[in-house]
Amino acid sequence: MDIHCIGTGGGRFCLTTQQRATGGFMIEHEDTSMYVDPGPGALVRGLDHGITFGSVDALFISHAHIDHYGDGEALIEAITQGCKNDRGHLITNEIVLEGQSDTSGVLSSYHRNHIGQTSMIDAEDIVDLEPWSLTVTATDHKDIQTNGFCAEIEGTTIGYIPDTSYTDDLIPQYRDADYLIINTLRPVDKDWKGHLNLEEAVNLVETIEPEKAFLQHFGMNFVTSFRTQVEWLQDYDPAVPITLCSDMTTYSLEDQGLEQFV
Ligand SMILES: [Zn+2]
Ligand SMILES: [Zn+2]
């Protein structure tokens, strides 16, 4: 079971400078794969990393911010072999698909019409991605509907916590996670409503107690103080192994010798 981290940056300044790439990640196990949050760069860097998009099974978009959907249409083209072969499963929420009040959805109807299947998700929905099962979660992110998941894959559960403020509501939703992937935009001492900082992400990990946690979607303040963040984490010495993920890197969950702080 692999997590392919294509772009581990997030927020407007990583997006516009690509100092950390913003392409999101893909989970793959045997013959099934799901690409998650294809921000700008997902297609180009994903190809560079060896992803065969024509066999990707599902595309999950957590919310309608560009660092999560920017390459969504390009990936739909790649998944459907240029919209010639209606295949793949788009899993996302109503705001991404339909917009809200004065906005439209963020994916063209052309592309929406060429994906094989679409699931419009809401909290607690269960999406069948045979042989995986996704339980949809909800987070608290700047008044825009934002959804993550717990993916149950042959007895192992991978939880994805997308952009969110710290809230106790997160804990029961991810209680069953064996592995956690957490968007951690902010460095340890910097709060910003709608986003977790490193200390909050570590608190979640220590409370939920997965086997391992992978932090990513770092904002520019995190990236420019990365060494300080690594040192803080080493000093904290969490009980659960926590990896600060790198761009263009595959993490195999079966690996025992996984480096703790990358
Ligand atoms: Zn984001
Ligand atoms: Zn966001």
pLDDT higher than 90, residue 153: yes
CATH level 3 topology of 2-247: Metallo-beta-lactamase; Chain A (3.60.15)
C-alpha 221 – ligand 1 centre gap (Å): 14
Q: Residue 65 C-alpha to ligand 1 middle, in angstroms?
A: 7
Mean pLDDT, rounded, for 214-225: 97
pTM of the model: 0.96
Average pLDDT over residues 86-112: 93
Is the pLDDT at 79 greater than 90? The verdict is: yes
* Residue 96 to residues 48, 62, 167, Cα–Cα distance (Å): 27, 8, 23
Q: Which two tokens stand for residue 50?
A: 């060896």
Cα 99 to Cα 49, 96, 124, 128, 206, distances in angstroms: 32, 6, 21, 24, 36
CA–centroid distance, residue 183 to ligand 2 (Å) = 10
pLDDT band at 255 (very low <50, low <70, confident <90, very high): low
> CA geometry: angle at 148 spanning 146 and 154, to 5°?
165
User: Ligand 2 mean position to 41 CA, how many Å?
Assistant: 17
Instruction: Report the percentage of the chain scoring pLDDT > 70.
Output: 97
pLDDT (0 to 100) of residue 192: 84
Which whole number is the average pLDDT over 45-74? Answer: 97
CA of 154 to the centre of ligand 2 (A): 30
Q: How far apart are CA 222 and CA 228, in angstroms?
A: 9
What is the distance in A from the centroid of ligand 1 to the CA of 36?
A: 12
Residue 256 Cα to ligand 1 midpoint, Å, equals 30
* Cα–ligand 2 centroid distance for 69 (angstroms): 10
pLDDT band at 44 (very low <50, low <70, confident <90, very high): very high
pLDDT band at 87 (very low <50, low <70, confident <90, very high): very high
User: Could you tell me the distance, in angstroms and rounded to a whole number, from the CA of residue 185 to the centre of ligand 2?
Assistant: 10
Whether the predicted pLDDT of 236 surpasses 80: yes
Report the C-alpha gap between 133 and 89 in whole angstroms: 13
Which range is least confidently modeled, 5-14, 49-58, 208-217, 250-259? 250-259
Q: What is the pLDDT of residues 132-151, one digit of tens each?
A: 999 999 999 988 999 999 99
Ligand positioned closest to the Cα atom of 219: 1
